[in-house]
């Protein structure tokens, strides 16, 4: 089994949409280890609908839309890292984190610690909006300092060539492509949008 980790610079940057596109393009299975907040549609359901691929059940399905450690505390549970070992399956597995790299799973452990334990290749999803140079650079520094192999960055939003190039050049990281905002999101429109993503580079890292 080979895993590909998808994380982001922040919450709401488009990780789930990127994960769905990767899951479909790679013919992979998908896993969201910890889902915080299930008032609306879960990320697993979104990926299942957009990718048409198998989705593994969450290890933790938490009620409150908040950082996993707060949502777990709200339910009177503590997240056990042993339950978050990568599932052993025969296929490629796309694994989506929650929020950003430094989101706490407990009051002692960040998602970054889990990524470092997994030692699987990581794709970072970043907005192209104002502030992305700082957030993306800090996230890349954290991942690299923890020994995580970073494949590159997928940008989401309107084209900002100078900003994107600054990040790529100063962080010495691969630009894996950019997704425009998809107004009418469906399996078909996501597949079309994903033509802008460098799947050759991604497959080469697996």
CA dist 27 and 50 (Å) reads: 12
Please check whether residue 64 is in contact with residue 72, taking contact to mean a CB–CB distance below 8 angstroms: no
Sign for the pseudo-dihedral over CA of 130, 95, 3, 24: negative
d(CA 66, CA 198): 32
Q: Of 169, 158, 104, which is closest to residue 136 (Cα–Cα)?
A: 169
Give φ, ψ of 155 to 5 degrees: -95, 150
CB atoms within 10 A of CB 148: 22
Max alpha carbon distance in the chain (Å)?
A: 47
CB atoms within 10 A of CB 92: 18
Catalytic residue set: 32
Tokens of 94: 């796309």
CA atoms of 121 and 2, how far apart (whole Å): 9
């Amino acid at each position: 089994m080979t895993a590909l980790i998808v994380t982001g610079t922040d919450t709401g940057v488009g990780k789930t949409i990127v994960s769905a596109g990767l899951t479909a393009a790679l013919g992979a299975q998908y896993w969201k280890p910890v889902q915080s907040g299930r008032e609306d549609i879960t990320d697993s359901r979104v990926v299942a609908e957009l990718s048409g691929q198998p989705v593994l059940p969450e290890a933790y399905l938490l009620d409150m839309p908040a950082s996993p450690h707060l949502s777990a505390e709200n339910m009177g549970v503590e997240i056990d890292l042993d339950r978050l070992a990568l599932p052993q399956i025969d296929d490629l597995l796309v694994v989506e984190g929650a929020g950003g790299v430094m989101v706490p799973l407990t009051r002692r452990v960040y998602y970054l610690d889990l990524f470092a334990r997994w030692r699987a290749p990581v794709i970072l999803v970043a907005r192209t909006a104002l502030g992305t140079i700082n957030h993306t650079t800090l996230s890349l520094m954290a991942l690299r300092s923890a020994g995580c192999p970073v494949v590159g960055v997928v940008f989401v939003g309107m084209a900002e060539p100078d900003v994107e190039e600054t990040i790529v050049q100063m962080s010495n990281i691969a630009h894996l492509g950019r997704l425009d905002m998809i107004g009418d999101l469906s399996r078909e429109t996501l597949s079309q949008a994903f033509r802008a993503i460098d799947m050759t580079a991604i497959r080469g890292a697996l």
